[in-house]
Copies of this chain bind each other. A is one copy, B any other.
């Protein structure tokens, strides 16, 4: 770094942070007021509390309840600049990031661009089985789920009706389990008795998992507990079942075709393609291999964090793609930069695992915190508490609590809106002709 250092001696060092998710935001907050100039670049204008996206997708919360404008969180800091933009190039040799045709020089780069869904090479499935990474994803799923009940109500033929009332969730990690549970509650409580031609209780929810148990990241006992809870909610769980096809009529799981109008993809992640621009080795899911100082090889000026990093934990396995890892790495990277400016060497990064939890419906959850492993209502209360504490910004925390309290007491869901374009809505109403023949029929 000697050449660069000479060149910019008179100037404050520049830190570019790509991504304002858990990792990037945590780094930026730690650098607030530090003697560096920080630029935070994100494609969206908001920091998103992804663990609650499934609540937006199932009409329990509004987008604004789980998202806060990055500018509202950081914009008033003197040394932080927030840029809405999409990164197109990272030129590691020149230490420059290019976003929307504009170039940002850096002395330090923190890459925190997050992950997206992986369809195991089947990009064409994305259209029929949206994932749950962005607000747009969640609103798309909300539209599809609510519309399915409406289309079932309108359908003339039992085959159509049952296809509209079948919901398939692919992948039984926390997101898949939470989605399946929330769809079940929507059908069993919220929508109950509000239809004339269908009974939402007839909704069939199938959770498909390739591995041998649900919540594979958790202790096996908790996987069993979760399986029991899922059964109580009427969810069909299919373990050791691979999905071999997804199209507009449904999925093929374990060789069997399941006719379904709503498929949710919660099966796998891959790192943002920006990781490839660094030019060093990546793993199978696109994460950059980093040392215990979060640097990719030969780049002590670059920190790779969160879902972008393949970083080994104390057990020799790569750290999981969960928010506490990203938050701790973001904070660590920011402190390492401050140490470096003072000529100090940081200690290697080490992850402190505070535990993990997943919720299953209205009052069940599983949690493992160190040696403690428990399920049921207590775990659910713990889940509620932890998620509220970590929700960014006072407003969101208060409102989410109120809405949950309201939903809990009344069983209602406050955001049951079908908005946005509904491509194929009117097409679906009439098609596919081979399955129904409702056109022109008097149905009243």
Interface digits, A122-153 against B, CB 8 Å rule (1 contact, 0 not)? Answer: 00000000000001100100000011001001
Known: A76-B194, A395-B406, A430-B100. A85 touches B154 (CB 8 A): yes
Interface digits, A107-133 against B, CB 8 Å rule (1 contact, 0 not)? Answer: 000000000000000000000000000
Partner of A444, one of B104, B135, B194: B104
CB distance from A172 to the nearest CB of B (A): 28
Q: Are B102 and A417 in contact (CB under 8 A)?
A: no
Q: Which residue of B has the minimal Cβ distance to A81?
A: B196
Binds B, one of A335-343, A380-388, A408-416: A408-416
Known: A440-B103, A444-B105. A195 touches B46 (CB 8 A): no
Q: List 11 A-B contacts (CB under 8 A).
A: A46-B417, A62-B415, A64-B414, A75-B193, A75-B194, A84-B418, A102-B438, A102-B441, A102-B443, A104-B443, A399-B414
CB distance from A152 to the nearest CB of B (A): 11
Partner of A135, one of B71, B84, B193, B419: B419
Cβ of A63 within 8 Å of any chain B Cβ, yes or no, is yes
A415 to B399, CA, bound (A): 12
Cβ of A282 within 8 Å of any chain B Cβ, yes or no, is no
Please name the 8 residue pairs, one residue from A and one from B, whose CB atoms are nearest each other, closest first: A75-B194, A64-B415, A62-B62, A100-B429, A84-B150, A69-B416, A45-B418, A101-B439
Partner of A71, one of B83, B195, B420: B195
Q: Are B417 and A64 in contact (CB under 8 A)?
A: yes
Q: Are A403 and B399 in contact (CB under 8 A)?
A: yes
Q: Are B412 and A72 in contact (CB under 8 A)?
A: yes
Q: Are A44 and B418 in contact (CB under 8 A)?
A: yes
Cβ of A246 within 8 Å of any chain B Cβ, yes or no, is no
Q: Which residue of B has the minimal Cβ distance to A419?
A: B135
Q: Are B444 and A14 in contact (CB under 8 A)?
A: yes
Known: A64-B414, A84-B154, A420-B136. A100 touches B426 (CB 8 A): yes
Cβ of A169 within 8 Å of any chain B Cβ, yes or no, is no
- What chain B residues lie within 8 Å of A103 (beta carbons)? 440-444
Cβ of A402 within 8 Å of any chain B Cβ, yes or no, is yes
Most buried by B among A146, A396, A402, A417: A417
CB distance from A196 to the nearest CB of B (A): 5
Main secondary structure of the interface of A (DSSP, over half): mixed
Partner of A100, one of B46, B86, B154: B154
- What chain B residues lie within 8 Å of A150 (beta carbons)? 45, 84
- What chain B residues lie within 8 Å of A309 (beta carbons)? none
Task: Knowing that A14-B444, A86-B426, A103-B440 touch, tell me 7 more A-B residue pairs with CB under 8 angstroms.
Answer: A44-B418, A75-B193, A83-B154, A101-B429, A102-B156, A102-B443, A395-B406
Write the residues of chain A forming the contact surface with B, with a CB cutoff of 8 angstroms.
14, 37, 39, 44-46, 62-65, 67, 69, 71-72, 75-76, 81-86, 100-105, 135-136, 139, 146-147, 150, 153-154, 156, 191, 193-196, 395-396, 398-399, 402-403, 406, 410, 412, 414-420, 426, 429-430, 438-444
A69 to B195, CA, bound (A): 12
A368 to B84, CA, bound (A): 44
- What chain B residues lie within 8 Å of A416 (beta carbons)? 45-46, 64, 69, 71-72
- What chain B residues lie within 8 Å of A420 (beta carbons)? 136, 139, 420
A104 to B441, CA, bound (A): 9
CB distance from A80 to the nearest CB of B (A): 9
Known: A395-B406, A402-B402, A416-B45. A440 touches B135 (CB 8 A): no
CB distance from A362 to the nearest CB of B (A): 18
- What chain B residues lie within 8 Å of A430 (beta carbons)? 100-101
CB distance from A10 to the nearest CB of B (A): 15
A430 to B101, CA, bound (A): 7
Q: Are B440 and A71 in contact (CB under 8 A)?
A: no
CB distance from A184 to the nearest CB of B (A): 19
A329 to B82, CA, bound (A): 51
Q: Are B429 and A194 in contact (CB under 8 A)?
A: no
A81 to B196, CA, bound (A): 7
CB distance from A229 to the nearest CB of B (A): 27
CB distance from A366 to the nearest CB of B (A): 30
